[in-house]
Chain A
Amino acid sequence: MTLARRAAVRAARRPVTLAAAVCAIALIAPVASADPLRLRADALASTASPAGLLVLDTEAAVRAGVSAEAVVWMANAHAPGEASTGDVLVVAVRARMRRADARVGRFVATLGALRPEHVDGGGVRVQLPRRIDAEFVAGVPVVAGGMAWGWVVGSRLSRRIGDGGSVGIAYAQRRDDGMLAREELGLDAGAALGVRGDAAARVAYDLANPGLAEVALTASYRRRGLRGEAYAIHREASHLLPATSLFSVIGDVPSQRAGTVVTWRAAPRLDVIGDAGLRLVGGDAGAELTLRARLRLDDRGRSMLSGELRRSGVGEDMWTGARGAARIALPHALAVTTELELVVPDADRGRGAAWPWALAALAWDGGAWQAAVAVEASASPEYRGRVDVLGQLGRRWGR
């Protein structure tokens, strides 16, 4: 089948998929009499593209142990980078039994250390004896604006450790047009180490083009108001591309990042967070430094001030930035918020020496109804100066 033919078929299927999801929402509502139906509608309007976005989000317990949910979005203009004006994000039915749960529909499948995959299909998780869990997922990979011509299957076997940890092994294979596009093996482990420490690790190995795809390690320790965390990430971008890409052949430069994050509750209402790390990409090295402070102006944190200084990037892509944000709660469920950010790139390359960005918003949370209006102003490599107005209106039904 030619690419043009496929595109035409995808375009033809899009309204069908969207209509099916809207019908699913309509069907869920009357069936869900056992438990209140939750429905949420959000409308986002902006003077910048996409000019309008409507999101319908519903969830209901169809009967004991069976629940359904759907999220559908529609835009009145083509969103940047997307070919469609509407699509289904999620439409899924989930059933829970005593030692198993199953789901079918469109959802994001997460199998341990492997990358999340958005699929149209089904999955089942079973609790076996000796605290062992088995999980299986199969379906068609979701692509924006239609359906892919391929399939993905995956499985994970894990064993729980203590109250908050487990170790697992996962495998997934994806084929596009019948050809191997991705085959990965993942190992994951995580556990609470006593009441103060914990550690987690994930490793993904590319079996199609043998080599490490991704490794992430993290360990943390907390004591009173202080929490320290060490992390390390190794990623080979070439192995994250479909194996059918030539770039999976020529790319073999890994990127690495390691550092430590310290969170300190300096005062009951003041948190200070520091992140110091090092980034290595293809022979270039760069520091990753962040200092962030957050001050709650009341005990519940309804009003809050925050500030952040950041130094990030690698080689010629390094930049320095500062950001401040405030949220002040007002009477009558109103809140005024403002954010300011200034980014100064090390090498401007004619794109401007500094990129300021600012936003001021007024938000109202009336329980069932929520609304916000904001003015955003910025200067960027794309626009010397730009002002946009954003509006958001949300309504919730049910709990």
Chain B
Amino acid sequence: MTRASLALACIALAACAGVLGLRRSSLPEVFPHRAHVVAGVSCTRCHAGVDVPGPALHLPDDAVCTSCHTRPHDTRSCAGCHASRTAVAELVEARAHLRFDHARHAGATRGNCMRCHDAVAGDAARLRPPMATCFRCHDEARDARKCETCHRDLADEGALPASHLAHDGDWIREHGARAASSGDLCATCHDRESFCASCHGRTAPVLPAATRFGDPQRQSLHRAGFAARHALEARSDPGACTTCHAPDRCASCHTAKGVAGDGRGTPHGAGWVGPTASENRHGREARRDPASCAACHGGAGEKLCVTCHAVGGVGGNPHPPGWSSRQPLTAMPCRMCHPTGAAR
């Protein structure tokens, strides 16, 4: 890279710093809690009444600040510059969504706020204690997965889990493996039956929740031009479609749209069935994705296979080497070739 292009990249980065969120000087700074603690200012001197139950946020106003800082350097409100707006917003959200009462904890902590708010020592922007702090005493609620002990409504709160179930990366692919072992954890936020059913339900063609076209960042399997590329995706990921759709979904949709099947054309090109191996793509495709075959040829249509694939027939034994099954031979599809229930 030449010096000119390097300089150009730096200029571009500087120009975009605001958009990227790198330049944050215009935002309020973090309140210097540590300095006040070191100066011997008690917590309740500014946050008066915090140990009294009630809806108040107990944030200090200008009068509290000017009781010590008698000559303020600016006429504007202190909190406008010396308090983080996001911290205030978090406080409001916490009051709305958490069941918490400072008054009930004052006794257990013997009035020592730092016992829970230990982030004050580091002047952290976020002073709400992490859940691990709560679990130091409330381990029973954790073990019993009783989130409602503290959280009024996790779904409305919009809180995402911090670690094991962070919804990062390709969450649609990943969620099945995670939910398998932690379904009850998922249910702490997604406790409605319709949450799973909106994708895994068998009755609905499409729900608005899955097609929020006003929110393009919303993850969905069928976003954007899925209708155009669905055939490619289905053949590249055999069995994925049947996670949610019935095996006959392809045929019923194609028939309804008049695209294929129903005697009005076939999706199979040349070389599908023939006397030589090169003209027999159907076998390879069937083994690769039997679900797509079953979409049209399921049920009674499977007779199509056993007309050739029978012992002594041109297609030979349909069973792969080492085949075994616990199904009775009198059940379908076994009885198509074993009508008497006897192995041949």
Contact = CB atoms under 8 A, between A and B. Distances in A.
B68 interface: no
Interface in A119-161: 125, 127, 131, 133, 142-145, 158, 160
Considering residues B174, B182, B225, B247, which has the most beta carbons from chain A within 10 angstroms of its beta carbon? B225
A200 B182 CA distance: 9
A281 B238 contact: yes
Interface string A326-365: 1100000001011101010100010000011101011100
Nearest to A84: B203
Nearest to B186: A110
Contact of A282 (B179, B202, B284, B305): B284
B57 to A, nearest CB: 20
* CB-CB nearest 9 A-B residue pairs: A363-B214, A190-B181, A357-B225, A268-B21, A81-B253, A251-B290, A79-B205, A247-B290, A164-B164
Nearest to B250: A81
A363 B215 contact: yes
B81 to A, nearest CB: 17
Nearest to A247: B290
B340 interface: no
Interface string B25-40: 0000000000000000
Interface string B201-214: 11111111101111
Nearest to B185: A164
16 contacts: A44-B211, A53-B205, A103-B193, A105-B193, A108-B201, A118-B200, A200-B178, A202-B176, A220-B169, A237-B238, A261-B170, A295-B20, A306-B216, A341-B224, A343-B229, A390-B213
A71 to B, nearest CB: 5
Interface in A14-64: 42, 44, 50, 53, 55, 57, 59
Contact of B227 (A75, A279, A382): A382
Instruction: Report whether over half of chain A's contact residues are helix, strand or loop; otherwise say mixed.
Output: strand
Contacts of B336: 246
B269 A201 contact: no
Given A190-B182, A201-B177, A231-B173, A210 B21 contact: no
Contacts of A89: 194, 197-198, 201, 203-204, 207
A240 B169 contact: no
Given A275-B170, A341-B224, A255 B259 contact: no
Given A89-B197, A118-B203, A183-B326, A217 B177 contact: yes
Contact of A313 (B194, B236, B286): B236
Contacts of A245: 247, 290, 294, 298, 302, 333
Contact of B143 (A103, A131, A381): A131
A305 to B, nearest CB: 9
Contacts of B250: 81
B327 A208 contact: yes
A185 interface: no
B294 A200 contact: no
Given A116-B200, A235-B239, A306-B217, A240 B181 contact: no
Interface in B130-145: 135, 142-144
Nearest to B249: A81
Nearest to B287: A253
Interface in A367-382: 372, 374, 376, 378-382
B137 to A, nearest CB: 15
B286 A73 contact: no
B217 A304 contact: yes
A172 interface: no
Interface stretch (B59-67, B70-78, B316-324): B316-324
- Among B177, B203, B287, the most chain A Cβ lie within 10 Å of the Cβ of B203
Contact of A247 (B256, B302, B331): B302
Interface string A198-220: 10111000011110001011101
Given A44-B208, A250-B287, A244 B177 contact: no
A237 B294 CA distance: 11
Interface in B216-244: 216-217, 223-225, 227-229, 231-233, 235-240, 242-243
B344 interface: no
A209 B217 contact: no
Interface of B: 19-22, 24, 86, 135, 142-144, 153, 156, 161, 163-166, 168-170, 173-174, 176-185, 192-194, 196-198, 200-209, 211-217, 223-225, 227-229, 231-233, 235-240, 242-243, 246-247, 249-250, 252-253, 256-257, 259, 269, 284, 286-291, 293-294, 298, 302, 305-306, 309, 318-320, 323-328, 331-333, 336
A372 B233 CA distance: 29
Nearest to B173: A231
A260 B233 CA distance: 19
Given A240-B239, A295-B19, 18 more contacts: A73-B205, A80-B256, A89-B197, A90-B201, A108-B201, A112-B180, A165-B164, A189-B181, A201-B177, A231-B177, A245-B333, A247-B293, A281-B289, A297-B19, A339-B216, A343-B225, A343-B228, A363-B214
Contacts of B202: 118, 142-144
A9 B92 CA distance: 55
Interface in A176-206: 179-180, 183, 186, 188-192, 195, 198, 200-202
Contacts of A335: 214
B229 A125 contact: no
A192 B229 CA distance: 36
Contacts of A227: 166, 168-169
Nearest to B223: A339
A378 B184 CA distance: 41
Contact of A180 (B180, B183, B232, B327): B327
A253 to B, nearest CB: 4
Given A241-B294, A282-B287, A338 B216 contact: yes
A90 B194 contact: yes
B197 A237 contact: no
A90 B193 contact: yes
